[in-house]
Amino acid sequence: MNRDTAFRLLRLLVREELELALKPVLAVLAHQVGVHPKHGADELLTRDDVSNLLKVDIRTLRRMVHAGDVPAPITLGDRTDRWRRSTIESFLRKKEKQALTSGLRRGSV
């Protein structure tokens, strides 16, 4: 494992731990002050939002969901699917970790 890869992996892990540790504190502070972040963890995202975040076409997003490569949406109606922002962000962090660790196993990044 090279030094840069180890540092990136460590930084990712520390960031995740800090986010988890600070989430309840920030929620209490936001509630006390009456301020709610525009992009909260529970914000619901549309197909367009998710496809833009993942930088894929909507048809590709549908195929990825069907194949189980992307978390399934919450179905609100016949043609209304939504994803929690926190679910997509968690999915992306997991994929980033997998990419880093697979690169370490192969000896390249």
| Domain edges within the chain | 3-104
Q: Residue 5 and residue 70: Cα distance in Å, rounded?
A: 25
pLDDT at residue 22 above 90? no
Query: What is the structure's pLDDT at 34?
Result: 61
pLDDT at residue 50 above 60? yes
Query: What is the structure's pLDDT at 56?
Result: 96
Query: What is the structure's pLDDT at 79?
Result: 83
Residue type, 106: R
Query: What is the structure's pLDDT at 102?
Result: 79
Q: With left for phi above 0 and alpha for psi between -120 and 50, is residue 21 left, alpha or beta?
A: alpha
Residue 36 pLDDT class (50, 70, 90 cuts)? low
